[in-house]
Amino acid sequence: MGRSRAGVEIHSTAIVSDSAEIGERSTIWAFVQVMDGVEIGKDCVIGNGVYIDRNVKIGNNVKIHNKACIYEGTIIEDDVFIGPGVCFTNDKYPRYDKTRRMGGIFWKVGKSSSIGANVTILPGVNIGAKANIGAGSVVTKDVPAGMLSYGNPAEVMGKTKISKE
């Protein structure tokens, strides 16, 4: 697999900041970038090619699939699933301006929520606990807890069906 940090598996091609905190039994796969100040909880899986920007907070038992982009200001609570290619966009008004610094944008993904493949989440949009976002959706506004949302733009289509364990 590559190198290890106290109970954490890190692929040899991953770039992980020395200041990043990574919980026990977590796995970081190939070509991942984990920047300064990141906190990743226990029992997480970070898939191939994921980018995790500075100061992102990720809870326990989180699975982030391949090629997802998690930008500064994101908080992901416990037991969350993030599908491949998910992008938390980080610029409300995308234009090139070398003098402009982004910042002050925050996202929160609530406990036990699930975000499908290739979902785009606009800056500052929050996902409630136990919410589900359908694959390919463009999320332009907050999704309430326990709701299913999908489409472009994503709309709330009903309640999430949670299986009983």
CATH of domain 2-159: 2.160.10.10
Q: 2 pLDDT band (50/70/90 cuts)?
A: low
Range 40-45 average pLDDT: 98
Token pair listed for 41:
């909880």
Question: Tokens 């993030």 — which residue?
Answer: 82
Give domain limits for the chain: 2-159
Is residue 105 over pLDDT 70?
no
Q: Tell me which of 107 and 29 has the higher pLDDT.
A: 29
Q: What's residue 90's pLDDT?
A: 80
Q: What's the CA gap between 89 and 103, in Å, rounded? A: 12
Q: In the predicted model, is pLDDT for residue 94 greater than 80?
A: no
In terms of phi and psi (left: phi > 0; alpha: psi -120 to 50; beta: otherwise), the region of 31 is left
What pLDDT is recorded for position 161?
78
pLDDT of residue 165: 46
End-to-end CA distance of the chain: 33
Tell me: pLDDT of 31 over 90: yes
pLDDT grade for 6, boundaries at 50, 70 and 90: confident
Model pTM score: 0.89
